[in-house]
């Protein structure tokens, strides 16, 4: 059946949630048991694995997350291994996933678990929630999946599904809407399988009730108010979009006479703290990308460089920005005169040594074009 078939006026009030023990739960769990994807973080009650997967998958598609998850577990098989690792090693293992504060928080939380909980992952929801980088959703996931606690785990998928199940006509980003969804999920959680139920809802959001809902395949359409009202395609209601800023930047791969590249570790604090970077920065009004890269290199290194040519233009996004990065190959005419800049020294590093150092996405993509990552 087509969800748009009976398009009508938006419901004025959200529909009541299905009551506990409702067929909704049975239908959803039965469907999940039959179709769930066999990801390596499923079928385990190990809170460490569940925690890492949940943090990793916040900004990463599940299929892509498998490779990162498997590599992470090889490098850090347990909490102790993360707690004892240097920050640089944790950031390097996180490379490619973006939002590096998540990796820093994992390390801090692992240290906290070792120091305050004797290496045992805390079971109580509020203790899980107090760990660095752990929010309501992640705490609910770990508590329900690892420890069987009746805690909802409401992420964007579940918000979208329930905006439809309850036919919520308020913007879904509003605090009231999220509260309504959280309470509706809490009321439905089966006492004997809260973790399965939470995972089933996420799977429903990922496989069936996505941006374009496939209502004809949906195991819970009999209890979906938006399906009934013909409003599924209009839910969730979005709020006003915050504008994304477009930044145009440059970076130089500056080589010295020995073929070494100029890089530095960013100072602690601020965006991309502790990661490595190439010299570069923003393009100013009226400046060409080539002029901008020459200016940034001269400013950073205190000596001019010959700009040899553009290697690539890469596009990437971070926080609320979209960025276009022009990458140039440059050479120093004279022996390198590195100097301190913002408290972090520029260094000359052989290309083969760059692979193990974490770079922000744009710079990493440039280095990949040269086969150095």
Q: Annotated catalytic sites, by residue?
A: 54
Tokens 């760059």 identify what position? 354
Nearest CB to ligand SF4, comparing residues 50 and 220: 220
Out of 18, 65, 194, 213, the residue judged to bind ligand SF4 by CB under 6 A: 213
From residue 292, alpha-carbon distances to 102, 253, 276 in Å are: 32, 14, 20
Contacts with 356 (C-beta within 8 Å, 6 or more apart), sequence order = 92
CB 255 within 8 A of CB 249: no
Question: Shortest gap between Cβ of 152 and ligand SF4 (angstroms)?
Answer: 17
1-60 residues near ligand SF4, rule: CB under 6 A: 3
From residue 337, alpha-carbon distances to 87, 93, 277 in Å are: 29, 32, 18
Out of 153, 165, 188, 294, the residue judged to bind ligand SF4 by CB under 6 A: 165
Q: For the chain, what is the largest distance between any 2 Cα atoms, rounded to a whole number of angstroms?
A: 76
Cα 87 → chain centroid: 19
Q: DSSP letter string over 273-299?
A: TT-EE-SEEEPPTT--HHHHHHHHHHH
Question: Shortest gap between Cβ of 202 and ligand SF4 (angstroms)?
Answer: 13
Nearest CB to ligand SF4, comparing residues 155 and 277: 155
Q: Please tell me the distance from the alpha carbon of residue 295 to that of residue 300, in angstroms, as a whole number.
A: 9
Q: Please tell me the distance from the alpha carbon of residue 141 to that of residue 54, in angstroms, as a whole number.
A: 8
Out of 107, 164, 326, 357, the residue judged to bind ligand SF4 by CB under 6 A: 164
From residue 96 to residue 115, the character string flagging contacts with ligand SF4 as x (rule: CB under 6 A) and all else as - is: --------------------
- 163 binds ligand SF4 per the rule CB under 6 A: no
Out of 218, 250, 254, 294, the residue judged to bind ligand SF4 by CB under 6 A: 218
- 215 binds ligand SF4 per the rule CB under 6 A: yes
From residue 220 to residue 249, the character string flagging contacts with ligand SF4 as x (rule: CB under 6 A) and all else as - is: xx--x-xx----x-----------------
Question: Shortest gap between Cβ of 205 and ligand SF4 (angstroms)?
Answer: 8
Question: Shortest gap between Cβ of 105 and ligand SF4 (angstroms)?
Answer: 33
- 161 binds ligand SF4 per the rule CB under 6 A: yes
Question: Shortest gap between Cβ of 197 and ligand SF4 (angstroms)?
Answer: 15
- 93 binds ligand SF4 per the rule CB under 6 A: no
Contacts with 340 (C-beta within 8 Å, 6 or more apart), sequence order = none
Contacts with 173 (C-beta within 8 Å, 6 or more apart), sequence order = 238, 239
Out of 50, 79, 209, 255, the residue judged to bind ligand SF4 by CB under 6 A: 209
Query: Minimal CA–CA distance to 193: which of 40, 17, 28?
Result: 28
């Amino acid at each position: 059946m087509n969800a748009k078939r009976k398009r009508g006026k938006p419901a004025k009030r959200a529909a009541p949630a299905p009551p506990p023990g409702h067929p909704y739960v049975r239908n959803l769990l039965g469907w999940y048991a039959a179709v769930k994807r066999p990801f390596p973080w499923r079928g385990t009650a190990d809170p460490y694995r569940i925690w890492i997967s949940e943090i990793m998958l916040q900004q990463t598609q599940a299929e892509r997350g498998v490779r990162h998850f498997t590599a992470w577990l090889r490098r850090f098989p347990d909490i102790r291994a993360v707690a004892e690792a240097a920050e640089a090693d944790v950031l390097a293992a996180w490379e490619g996933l973006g939002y590096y504060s998540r990796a820093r928080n994992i390390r801090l939380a692992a240290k906290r678990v070792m120091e305050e909980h004797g290496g045992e992952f805390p079971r109580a929801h509020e203790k899980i929630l107090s760990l660095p980088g752990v929010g309501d959703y992640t705490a609910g996931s770990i508590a329900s999946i690892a420890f069987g606690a009746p805690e909802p785990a409401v992420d964007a998928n579940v918000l979208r599904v329930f905006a439809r199940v309850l036919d919520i006509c308020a913007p879904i980003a509003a605090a009231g809407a999220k509260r309504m969804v959280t309470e509706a999920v809490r009321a439905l959680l089966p006492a004997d399988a809260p973790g399965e139920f939470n995972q089933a809802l996420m799977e429903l959001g990922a496989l069936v009730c996505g941006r374009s809902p496939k209502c004809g395949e949906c195991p819970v359409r009999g209890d979906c108010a938006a399906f009934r009202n013909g409003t599924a395609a209009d839910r969730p209601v979005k709020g006003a979009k915050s504008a994304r800023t477009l930044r145009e930047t440059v970076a130089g791969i500056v080589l010295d006479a020995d073929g070494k590249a100029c890089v530095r570790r960013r100072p602690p604090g601020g965006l991309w703290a502790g990661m490595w970077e190439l010299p570069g920065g923003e393009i100013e009004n009226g400046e060409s990308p080539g002029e901008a890269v020459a200016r940034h290199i001269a400013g950073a290194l205190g000596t001019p460089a010959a700009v040899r040519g553009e290697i690539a233009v890469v596009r990437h996004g971070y926080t609320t920005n979209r960025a276009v990065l022009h990458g140039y190959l440059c050479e120093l005419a004279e022996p390198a005169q590195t100097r301190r800049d913002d408290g972090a020294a520029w260094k000359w590093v052989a290309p083969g040594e760059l692979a193990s150092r974490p770079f922000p996405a744009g710079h990493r993509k440039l280095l990949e074009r040269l086969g150095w990552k």
